[in-house]
Structure 1
Amino acid sequence: MELETLVSKAQNGDKDALEGVVQAIQDDVHHLAMRMLVNPDDALDAVQDILILVITKLSTFSGRSAFKTWVYRVSFNYLLNAKKSLARDPGLSFDGFEQDLADGLGEKRIEDPVLLNELRVSCTMAMLLCLDRAHRAAYIVGFILEIAHDEAAEILAISKTNYRQRLSRARQKVNAFTQRACGLVNSGAACSCPRRLPAAMAVGRIQEGQTFFGGGDAAAYAAVLRRTKRLESGLRTLTLQQATRRFASPRDFAAVIGELVDTP
């Protein structure tokens, strides 16, 4: 059944259709929350809150835009403004992140391709936490979700001009950082994943047998390295940010929402 049909039925009180709506959108919402928050536990909490907002506000959806556009707007409004979401922000900066990378470099190298990929993806995602939330959201909508400008501006509830400005500033900041600090983008940069991996393992950020970030459908480390070498410098950062996994929801929120709906 098409999503819009499920939405219409759910708006008319069909509980099965409501659960179908949640199942249809929960992966998209979880992927978005992971890219905004990075921490898996924080993302799961945010997804549940967002999905509850979606079903409680479902009657207000008028169909003037695509349903997923509306869902993204509800999601970003929560992630950008809710006190609970704001409290999860680690407050990173590019200068601090760059210093952390430099402090973790040593002469020892680890060349394990699985662990290197776990480090690559987790570092790539954490990098966006150095952007303030407004610019992070613009970057994710424009370059991760690859949503057209008109729809992106609608999702973020800003003008197209403001959206384009935020997107441009966000890209400039991320590109400048990776050019300075990331060996995958600039071979002359001090940091390289093999040199950074020993320190990341020593503090428990990367653990053998754990491939949450670099697992799934994430591109392999060697493949990303080859790809970035072939690209112009301006496209290398974008390639890194897009070469992550699709973060499908590990929890069936449809069942959770169904229980909440049945609760008197």
Structure 2
Amino acid sequence: MSAREHEGESVAAEERELVGRAIAGDRDAIAEVVRLLQDPLYRLALRMVWRPAEAEDATQEILLRVLGNLDTWRGEAKLLTWAYRIGVNYLLNLKRQSPQEAAQLSLDAYRDGLADGLAEADYLGPEATLLTEEVRLNCSQAMLQCLARDERVAFVLGDVFELNSTDAAWILDITPAAYRKRLARAKKRLGNFLTATCGVANPEAFCRCARRVDKALALDRVDPSRPAFARHPITPGGRTVAQAEQQMVQLHDAAAVLRAHPDYAAPQAKMAAISGLLHSGRFPLLD
């Protein structure tokens, strides 16, 4: 057995032991399950619903569904992979729509919107670096919303989270071949858009984040006093905005633009609410 296989078996055994204790009603074990899953599930939700507030709500609901079904986990996949499957099913069927979904905004229409109001020079006002980062992060979130949900989640699992096609297909309950086809379609659409539009992905393209700041401020798409992404809390030890951006610059490909978000942490208000529920005596695992 290779060292990697041995490590994988050790992790699987640890997860089985942890879940067993959680199912038995061990509050510390349940809290540890939440701690392990909350940030990855939040990052999944954020990519699918665009705004942090909506992602918080979705993450809370997904975690409660994960905990409510924990006794059905049989170790057929890693605990996080299994939780992603529950999360993806919830997010694909979410009735609430992002503004882009509600407007049925296409990538072509989004590109036209970016061209409208593009300044002739970079923004040099207060907090220029911060606001340029906020525009970039907000823009890459928004462009994802122009994909149909099934394509969006395929892209997020494959090219943002970098899962292999076997795991991603299992999460989506489709064949690996069908998943690869769906991912290729999403990558082609986003790649064509970024190559034609985004100066980060292609220096010859027309759009520049620093030249979109004035328009974004005028349209209230970024809030200089409360930037949603550039100052978002991150997981302890996770990538910062600057580190994620440096990786993007080094990779020089379109997918890197969409991958280059920091390692966001789930806001603690909703996680505290889950903790309160776990200790309320009303949660099924503790009955």
Q: TM-score, normalised by structure 1?
A: 0.88
- Matches of 1:6 and 1:221, distance apart in 2: 32
1:110 aligns with 2:123: yes
State the alpha-carbon separation in 1 of the partners of residues 48 and 273 from structure 2.
23
Counterpart CA distance in 1 for 2:74 and 2:248 is 46
2:228 aligned counterpart, secondary structure: coil
Of the three residues 240, 243, 249, the one matched with 2:266 is: 249
Matched, 1:87 2:96: yes
1:101 counterpart residue number: 114
CA distance in 1, matches of 2:270, 2:31: 8
Q: Compute the displacement of 1:79 (Å).
A: 0.4
CA distance in 1, matches of 2:74, 2:281: 27
Aligned partners of 1:163 and 1:46: how far apart in 2?
24
The equivalent position to 1:39 in structure 2, one of 51, 68, 90, is: 51
How big is the shift at 1:243?
1.3
Structure 2 CA distance, aligned partners of 1:202 and 1:144? Answer: 30
Q: Which runs of 5+ in 1 are unaligned?
A: none
What is residue 177 of structure 1 aligned with on the other side? Answer: 193
SS of residue paired to 2:170: helix
Percent sequence identity is: 36
2:144 to 107, 110, 128: 128
Distance (Å, rounded) in 2 between the aligned partners of 1:29 and 1:40: 12
Letter in 1 for 2:277: L
C-alpha distance after superposition, 1:191-219 (max 9, x if no partner): 21122111011122223343431235123
1:34-59 CA distances to partner (integer Å, 9 max, x unpaired)? Answer: 11111111101100110110111111
Query: Structure 1 222/87 Cα, relative in aligned 2: closer, same or farther at 3 Å?
Result: closer
Whether 2:217 is the aligned partner of 1:205: answer no
CA-CA distance at 1:225 after TM superposition: 7.8
- Aligned residues between the structures: 255
Letter in structure 2 aligned against 1:26: Q
- Whole-angstrom CA distance in 2 between matches of 1:221 and 1:33: 19
> CA 1:227/1:124 → structure 2, altered by over 3 Å: closer, same or farther?
same
Is contact 1:142–1:149 with CA below 8 Å preserved after alignment? Answer: yes
Partner Cα distance (2:245, 2:68) in 1: 45
Other-structure match for 1:16? 28
- The equivalent of 1:218 in structure 2 is 241
CA root-mean-square deviation: 2.2
Q: Deviations over 1:5-51 (max 9, x none)?
A: 22111112222211221111111111111111111111011001101
Letter of the 2:83 counterpart = V
TM-score (norm 2): 0.82
Q: Kindly tell me: are residues 179 and 65 of structure 1, through their superposed partners in 2, closer, same or farther at Cα, counting changes over 3 Å?
A: same
The 1:210/1:221 distance shift into structure 2, 3 A limit, reads farther
| 2:144–2:152 CA contact under 8 A, matched in 1 | yes
Q: Offset at 1:96?
A: 2.0
Structure 1 equivalent of residue 285 of structure 2? none
Q: In terms of mean alpha carbon deviation, does 57-66 or 188-197 score higher? A: 188-197
Structure-2 separation of matches of 1:98 and 1:66: 39
Q: Deviation of residue 138 (structure 1)?
A: 0.5
Match of 2:19 among 4, 7, 16: 7
Which residue is 1:144 aligned to?
Answer: 160
